[in-house]
Structure 1
Amino acid sequence: MGRVEGKVALVTGGASGIGLASAQLLAKEGAKVVIGDFNLDGAKEAAEAINKEGGNASAVFLDASKEESIKEAVEFTVKTYGTITVLFNNVGLTNLQKDLDVLNIDLDEWDRLINVNAKSVLIGSRYAIPYMKEAGGGSIINTASMAGFASDAIRTAYGASKAAVIHLTKYIATQYGQDNIRCNGVAPGLILTPAAERNMPPQVLDIFKKFNALPYNGAPEDIGYTVLFLASDESKYITGQTIQVEGGHYIANPSITDFNDFMAQAKQN
């Protein structure tokens, strides 16, 4: 208990999945938490559940596509708890129907994903940093993605936007480190959020697991614990980094799984 005692955190996209798991862990470890989400009812429900467990949480509407909404969420946090010392820029969108390959991608969808996935990180940080300076420092944490490191057959805009988040993280860390403000990213691989389990066929989930170094897919709490670490003073000498939390999916030669299958078959023969 108490790993982030006395800290005040705004978690964007905190009503479900990675954001919810992170908000719950931050509150459990002593932070006062504001859950910002487009789904205000879900955010209120999450905050109420945290409060029933003895934490301290509030909810605020947040539309990550609109600068004014992000500003209002930051100001709500400061008005409610007196400051903001942790900002978890977690909102992110993807669209498998429109975010296709370079020749076929919907250009309006490109603009939308870049705006929400990358620009919202910039805006959230812009409005939180002055308050963090007043507080003597803070920690900004950005949800990137392994799609920002590795390319795919589709999701061109998503990958480009997350690559932007990874590099923007370095810029924020460089520009505000002397103010005792750290900025780091977390890059999830496949995480079994409710949305992933709802939208991805079991066969696809099995494909991801097949190529992991570990024998399972990730859970929202796996990202949440990384966020908790980056929010805490345990990581006080870490900044500008993006931690890859992906079960070892991307560490090996991509042929290793098929090679192992080949060798196992050869032994049987």
Structure 2
Amino acid sequence: MQSDSGKADAIRLDGKVAIITGGAGGIGAATARLMVARGARVAIADIALDAARAVVDGLPDAMAVPLDLESEDSIEAMVAQVSGHFGRIDILHNNAALLGPDIARQDGDVEHMGTALWDRTYAVNVRGTMIACRAALPHLRETRGNIVNTVSNLALQGHVIQSAYSSSKAAIIQMTRSIAASHGARGVRCNAVAPGMTLTPALREAFPPALLRAVEAETLRDRLGDPEDIAEAVAFLASDAARNITGQLLVADGGCASHVPGIAQFRAFFGEHQ
């Protein structure tokens, strides 16, 4: 695709190959569809292989690959399979994480944290992401490619819930900076996107409506974000339009992390007195 100036549109992903972990639903599936729309070939890597195949169905130049982030062999086999199929890797989007209603109910404060859940959260989110980066980096050096890690605005804020999840995502932010620093001179960029609460189908189904409304009230937009909103941020960072951006955290939470506490109450107060 050409812009009016005749130069290639830098936000396009034509000819690039992207791996999207956790691509079977929510943010991962939205990112896969957007990247394909912008010209990329995608590999959706997920432990839920049937769901990954359902996303791939109808997408040109896409494949579904099994992935268990708790298994080093599975991660390395996934990267090798994608490289062997497409002949190159340009983008690694580490989006998969240990997250779901059953896990979230167990992931509370540290005093009541089960050691097994803590260890598994770090095994999937931190160790799994590290191994995926390690396996992909030789391929990304060849293509001058890049990594985009999905973290969370909870990695930047204290909360009464999800202490394991939030601290694991904070670790990935530092991993992002480390990879950017150690591999930038070799042509590899690495950035992270921190969504806030995002209205995925799973969240709509599982999250209490009253708490959804409470978070929405603290959003500086007029609504919570959709998976497509986060996909736009990921696809931008993965594109050549972001070629001078590396080692950075893009917070895409609708402004939740940017304001004083209790803004919803201040809005209500001043709205009543105007």
TM-score bin (small chain) = over 0.9
Unaligned runs of 5+ in 1: none
Distance in structure 1 (CA, Å) of the matches to 2:271 and 2:19? 50
Deviations 1:27-63 (A, max 9, x none): 111111000011111111111121xxxx210111111
What is the CA-CA distance between 1:115 and the residue it aligns to? 1.1
Alignment-derived partner of residue 134 in structure 1: 142
Alignment-derived partner of residue 13 in structure 1: 22
Percentage of matched positions with identical amino acids: 40
Distance in structure 1 (CA, Å) of the matches to 2:241 and 2:215? 32
Q: 3-state SS of the aligned residue for 1:49? A: coil
Distance in structure 1 (CA, Å) of the matches to 2:104 and 2:193? 22
- From 79, 82, 94, the equivalent of 1:74 is 79
Distance in structure 1 (CA, Å) of the matches to 2:37 and 2:272? 49
What is the CA-CA distance between 1:98 and the residue it aligns to? 1.7
Asked if 1 retains the 8 angstrom alpha-carbon contact of 2:126 and 2:171, the reply is: yes
- From 91, 94, 104, the equivalent of 1:89 is 94
Alignment-derived partner of residue 107 in structure 2: 99
Asked if 2 retains the 8 angstrom alpha-carbon contact of 1:218 and 1:246, the reply is: yes
| TM score, norm. by length of structure 1 | 0.94
Deviations 1:76-110 (A, max 9, x none): 11011001110000011232222111110111100
Asked if 1 retains the 8 angstrom alpha-carbon contact of 2:18 and 2:89, the reply is: yes
Corresponding residue pairs, total: 262
Distance in structure 1 (CA, Å) of the matches to 2:140 and 2:196? 30
Q: How does 1:117-196 map to 2 (within 5 A)?
A: 117-135=125-143, 137-196=144-203
Asked if 1 retains the 8 angstrom alpha-carbon contact of 2:189 and 2:245, the reply is: yes
Deviations 1:203-235 (A, max 9, x none): 221111111111100000011111111111000
What is the CA-CA distance between 1:255 and the residue it aligns to? 2.5
Unaligned runs of 5+ in 2: 2-8
| TM score, norm. by length of structure 2 | 0.93
Q: 3-state SS of the aligned residue for 2:250? A: strand
